[in-house]
Amino acid sequence: MSTESAPAPQSGLAEDVKQQGPRVAVSALTTNLREYGLIIALIVIMLFFQYTTSGTLFKPVNLSNLVQQNSFIIVMALGMLLVIVAGYIDLSVGSVAGFIGALAAMMMVIWPLGMFSNPLVVSIVCLIVGALIGAAQGYWIAYHKIPSFIVTLAGMLIFRGICQALLGGGSSVGPLPDSFKALSSGFIPDVIGPLTLIPPTVNAAGKTIVGSGLTLHMTTVVLGLIAVLAYAYFGFRTRRKRERHGYEAEPFPLFVIKTLVGSALALFLVFQFASYRGLPVVLLVMGVLISLFVFVTKRMTIGRRIYAMGGNAKAAQLSGINTERLTLLVFINMGVLSALGGLIIAARLGQAVPAAGLGSELDVIAAVFIGGASAMGGVGQVIGAVVGGFIMGVMNNGMSIMGVNVDWQQVVKGLVLLGAVIFDVYNKNKA
């Protein structure tokens, strides 16, 4: 029998961390390799494409296009994260998005529904339909134990077929109202007023040279500064809370470096958006959803229960968690976000097309796995899924600007996804 003394109480751990210096810094880097590695990978990929595209990637107009073109991937990745963390998969999200876009277009353009053709009413109805679709699929998975792969594969075929039937085969339906298209292509108004830093240049004929001068969208600047300050404040508060309760926290210099790098990147992007037309409306929608999902997964009981169910469903059930109802809610949530993704796609295109959302389920799933979610369930973070989505978006955008063939783009994305999963398995085996 061992005669070793009991370990020191947790209250002294924070002080020990401060005394160990560089060794703790290396340990923190190793422990958070996935989180730091993702951010570093995103920055490296952006710098690579900035160089290979001769500076096109970071141009304000291209950054706006990048957000607008890939926003639906981020939105659906938030729902897919919870599905994968819970231990399931959803292959139907692309088809559901395409179907919802077709339904919205038919309600606004073709069917004489009177007041129910209003874009806001149509959007609400479509989100409800998305919830019902998620509930229908979740019912068979939760209460009849049919594998989610089979149920959602059937859903992928069913809703792709209904989408094409609604649109009459290969035809498109549009144009959609401008108020609806603003969801994806609109920008927030500048309620504060613009600030001109560099007046535009006027040529000899007295005409303003397009693209000259520098005027900032001040509402975007203010919102960006508030977001960065909130990020730094809540990060510092979380770290202090961990120390106060005796838990190990990353070394303060490492925390400062991480916060400064994140803030600098955010401020750079805010400046780029402010020098163009301001924040895209869809970016604001994404920001609200990301904040909501971070709160749900980190602060709410239902979030902890989803992780517990994904880690060990039998143990979660024995501890009193209603895993069937929780599974149903996860798929309802996925249905709503798939519907929102479909509305964003239709708004960006300005019309509904039969191929809308085709193959997007692969990008969504890849974004979640690249972001650190485990294929075994129980592991994954909202921020990781968002960063993974942006990595996919930057690669798509950068390779398109470079003129890389679409076939080779798929090869590159497949290799990146495979590398992310191999890295995850390697870390698990090492642990």
For residues 144 and 262, membership in a common domain is answered with no
CA nearest neighbour of 218 among 198, 186, 183, 189 = 189
Is the separation of the CB atoms in 163 and 99 below 8 Å? Answer: yes
Same domain, 201 and 331: no
Q: Bigger pLDDT: 419 or 256?
A: 256
pLDDT for position 144: 94
The answer to whether residues 338 and 198 belong to one domain is no
Specify if 3 maps to a domain: no
For range 318-345, the mean pLDDT: 94
Residue 215 clears pLDDT 90, i.e. is over it: no
Q: What is the mean pLDDT of residues 181-203?
A: 84
Q: Is 164 a domain residue?
A: yes
**Cα distances (angstroms) measured from residue 129 to each of 51, 122, 286:** 44, 10, 21
Do residues 215 and 318 share a domain? no
7 confidence band (pLDDT: 50, 70, 90): very low
201 has pLDDT over 80:
no
Asked whether residue 11 is domain-assigned, the answer is no
Query: What's the pLDDT band for 346 if we cut at 50, 70, 90?
Result: very high
Confidence of residue 14 (pLDDT cuts 50, 70, 90): very low
Q: Are residues 102 and 165 in the same domain?
A: yes
Q: What is the DSSP letter of 196?
A: E
Q: Are residues 291 and 323 in the same domain?
A: yes
* Confidence label for 146 from pLDDT (cuts 50, 70 and 90): very high
162 and 228 inside one domain: no
Q: Are residues 67 and 200 in the same domain?
A: no
- The sign of the dihedral angle between the CA atoms of 285, 121, 336, 295 is positive
- Same domain membership, residue 246 and residue 300: no
> Each residue of 364-400: pLDDT tens digit?
998 998 888 888 888 888 988 998 898 888 888 889 8
With tokens 């876009």, the residue in question is: 101
The model carries a pTM of 0.86
Residues 275 and 287 occupy one common structural domain: no
Q: What is the pLDDT of residue 150?
A: 95
Above 50 in pLDDT, residue 294? yes
Listed residues 263, 279, 295: the one ending a domain: 279
Q: How many domains does the chain have?
A: 2
Q: What is the pLDDT of residue 4?
A: 42
Domain that holds residue 207: 191-279
Could you tell me the sign of the dihedral formed by the alpha carbons of 294, 98, 109, 280, in that order? Answer: positive
Residue 29 confidence class, pLDDT cut points 50, 70, 90: low
Say whether pLDDT at 208 is over 70.
no
Same domain, 66 and 196: no
Give me the mean pLDDT over the 125-154 stretch: 95
Identify whether residues 149 and 248 lie together within a single domain. Answer: no
Contact 236, 244 (CB under 8 A): no
User: Which residue would you say has higher pLDDT here, 210 or 73?
Assistant: 73
Rounded average pLDDT over 315-343: 94
| CA separation for the pair 136, 92 (Å, rounded) | 12
Q: What is the pLDDT of residue 422?
A: 77
Q: Is the CB of residue 396 less than 8 Å from the CB of residue 410?
A: no
- Binned at pLDDT 50, 70 and 90, residue 8 comes out as very low
The answer on pLDDT for 255 being more than 90 is no
- Does 34 fall in a domain? yes
- What is the pLDDT, as a whole number, of residue 149? 94
- Mean local confidence (pLDDT), 74-89: 94
Tokens coding 394: 């930057």
DSSP state, residue 312: -
Range in 159-168, 339-348, 398-407, 418-427 the model is least confident about? 418-427
For residue 310, what are its two tokens?
């994904």
pLDDT of 2 above 60:
no
